[in-house]
Amino acid sequence: MDYTTQMDAARKGIITREMELVARKEKRTAEEIRQWVAEGRAAIPCNRVHKALDPNGIGSMLKTKINVNLGTSRDCMDLDTEVEKVNRAVVMGAESIMDLSSFGDTRVFRRRLTAECPAIIGTVPIYDAVVYYHKALKEITTEEWLDIVRMHAEDGVDFMTIHCGINRSTAKRFKENRRLTNIVSRGGSIIFAWMEMTGKENPFYEHFDDILEICREYDVTLSLGDACRPGCLKDASDISQIEELVTLGELTRRAWEKDVQVIIEGPGHMPLNQIEANMRIQQEICKGAPFYVLGPLVTDVAPGYDHITAAIGGALAAAAGASFLCYVTPAEHLRLPNVEDVKEGIIASRIAAHAADIAKGIPSAMDWDNEMSLARKNLDWEKMFSLAIDPEKARRYRAEAKPEKEDTCSMCGNFCAVKNMNRILDGEIVNIFEE
């Protein structure tokens, strides 16, 4: 090939196969995709080792994409269940799968994903280092942290969350400005503890150029992790979050100088009235790099329903410029999600993403809604089921309360406004009680 990464190709004027595929999905021209990738405003995560990949583009001018977090833990080690979640997530429209495994032989699952799964695959090397080396945290060396990054690249992952924005300076500022919920990022808490115990600089920050060389070799997209993302509403938009974002902006520039694609990770928990401003600040500081948000969750009091709190925040965030939504399930804050939790989280996130695409005027985004509205006008139930974001649930709900007349539902019956308007406009008589 005459290029190393998608960004390198784009800057050389080369339209890659991946750019062409993304252009067709997005109903854009390949030249538009090439230009946005060259500028860093869009990313196409596609490790050259991930042969099963069906590529997708991530950027605010493209359809909002969703990510599904999966993976094993000490308490839930059923690999077959995790694979079932992956397969269902792909069928339900998730563009990205993130393997957050934190126990067992994590490489087996990771390699299976990159060998078989067509979705974008992401990982967090810092988790895997703790599992892989299986020794006291403070005993892990700088070189060992970096070796895990290379291992994940070799295994074919398309993007990696690297917690490089929290450094000794940021950690000092954090301790001077304590939070209600401290650091809630798993990776952030691990690297913070490692720096505190060893007195050393964050190796991902100190050796960022080495990480860039690995990413450039395999065309891995960097997802610059938000170690200081707020874990409650009170901590949102505080000095630690913003200082880390400034650092991520500086690291974005350095990555682009090496033709490495970048995604920026963001909050977290955040009041509704702060979300739009945060999206604008990120776009300015990080020069339009795609923004990847967890939610944001707009209230802290809904355990069991956090897929809803996240969907509310996610819709607003994406409408204001976020490109990539990390799903949240009803199990958030409570347990590892099961298969049904995964489904609920995906549906909520897809609703948020689609609502945002309509709001920001993504080409043809509203065509789906118009088709559904026409089917409703025509009382075409089969068409409505086929267009539903969750056809199975829509069909089941109707079957559980079968109406007396097939052209109505059990809510309105002969009072159905759609049915009666169709009749009256066709010149028929409407006589509700005598039918």
- List the binding residues for [4Fe-4S] cluster: 409, 412, 416
Feature table: binding site for Zn(2+): 269, 333
Residue 244: alpha-carbon gap to chain centroid? 20
First to last CA, the chain: 72
Question: Given the DSSP bridges, would you call strands 58-59 and 291-294 parallel, antiparallel or unpaired?
Answer: unpaired
- To 5 degrees, how large is the angle CA 64–CA 390–CA 91? 65
Amino acid type, 332: E
Question: Alpha-carbon distance 137 to 385, whole Å?
Answer: 52
Phi and psi dihedrals of 159, rounded to 5?
A: -145, 150
* Residue whose structure tokens are 């690999």: 79
Using alpha carbons, select from 425, 359, 349 the residue that is nearest to residue 67. 349
Q: What is the dihedral of CA 281, 284, 289, 290, to 10 degrees?
A: 30
**Phi/psi of residue 290, nearest 5 degrees:** -55, 140
Q: Compute the half-sphere exposure of residue 141: CA atoms within 13 Å on the CB side of its CA.
A: 3
Report the half-sphere exposure of 203 (CA within 13 A, side-chain side): 22
- Amino acid sitting at position 368: W
